Amino acid sequence: MKLPNFFKQVVFLCFALLIFLQGVSAQDANPAAAKALIESTTQQVLDAIKGNPDHAFDVAQEYVLPHFDFIAMSRLVIGKNWKSATTDQKKQFVQAFRDLLIRTYANTLIEAAKSDVNVEYLPIRAKEGAKRIRVQSLVQFKGKTIKLDYSLRIKKGEWKVWDVSAGGVSLVTNYRAEFQTIHKEKGMDGLIETVNDKNQS
């Protein structure tokens, strides 16, 4: 099942809302503090995007890349085929998948700059000292309201994003369904080529 365009837009819009992770370590960011920081910085991020939408790709490269666990996300979307891939194939796929997410994210930032975005955060449900958290929110975007969940875990002392769900639909799960179909037809090299082609379109 491929990701619908609106689903892609909302999911990648939520990446913008996670720029709060910059400089926040696991030691000084318990779940409650992470949620509070999202709430306090979201509007600042959206205002910055609206002020300079032409730099959306640069924003993605500078602020998003360090805070997403692209290796874990790649391993999850490849699923059972990850173990059979060579080390070089894994590196190529992680790079291609990362570029796909960043480019889609940057394009969505440009769209977000043209629209009003309202975010309501739900009470966080995590114990103090939790190593995994889920930050839930309701986002109003382009006349629609959708529930967004951000899945984070601690890796090397920092919070890292490893999945995003929109309306209960997981980004990782959707890409896994699409990529496994391509892998079955074309193999790992063919999948990498297909993702790279998407990045050039």
Q: How many CB atoms lie within 10 A of CB 179?
A: 20
In a domain, 76, yes or no: yes
Q: Is pLDDT at 159 greater than 60 in this prediction?
A: yes
Residue 32 has pLDDT above 80, yes or no: no
Q: What is the reported pLDDT for 84?
A: 95
> Looking at the domain assignment, is residue 132 inside a domain?
yes
Residue 133: predicted pLDDT: 82
* Parent domain of 40: 5-196
CATH number at residue 156: 3.10.450.710
Q: Which of 4-13, 24-33, 187-196 has the least mean pLDDT? A: 4-13
187 inside domain: yes
Q: Is residue 185 part of a domain?
A: yes
Mean local confidence (pLDDT), 110-123: 71
Tell me the mean pLDDT in the region 138-164.
80
Single out the residue of 168, 8, 194, 177 nearest to residue 81, CA to CA.
177
pLDDT at 174: 86
pLDDT-based confidence at residue 74 (cuts at 50, 70, 90): very high
- The average pLDDT across 21-28 equals 52
Round to whole Å and give the CA distance between 147 and 138. 4
Lowest mean per-residue pLDDT among 2-6, 103-107, 140-144, 161-165: 2-6
The phi and psi torsions of 156 (rounded to 5 degrees) equal 50, 45
- The Cα 16–Cα 60 span in angstroms is 8
Would you say residue 141 lies in a domain? yes
User: Which residues are CB-neighbours of 166 under 8 A, at least 6 positions away?
Assistant: 7, 10, 11, 14, 146, 147, 148
pLDDT of 43 > 70? The answer is: no
82 or 100: which carries more pLDDT confidence?
A: 82
Q: Answer whether residue 201 is part of any domain.
A: no
Higher pLDDT, 149 or 111: 149
Query: In DSSP terms, which residues pair with 132 in a beta bridge?
Result: 153
Total count of domains within the chain: 1
pLDDT band, very low/low/confident/very high, at 81 (cuts 50, 70, 90): very high
Q: 26: pLDDT confidence band, cut at 50, 70 and 90?
A: low
For residue 142, which amino acid is it?
K
* Predicted local distance difference test score (pLDDT) of residue 2: 47
Mean pLDDT computed over every residue of the chain:
76
Give the pLDDT band (50/70/90) at residue 37: low
> SS3 for the chain, per residue?
CCCCHHHHHHHHHHHHCCHHHCCCECCCCCHHHHHHHHHHHHHHHHHHHHHCHHHHHHHHHHHHHHHECHHHHHHHHHHHHCCCCCHHHHHHHHHHHHHHHHHHHHHHHHHHCCCCEEEEECCCCCCCCCCEEEEEEEEEECCEEEEEEEEEEEECCEEEEEEEEECCEEHHHHHHHHHHHHHHHHHHHHHHHHHHHHHHC
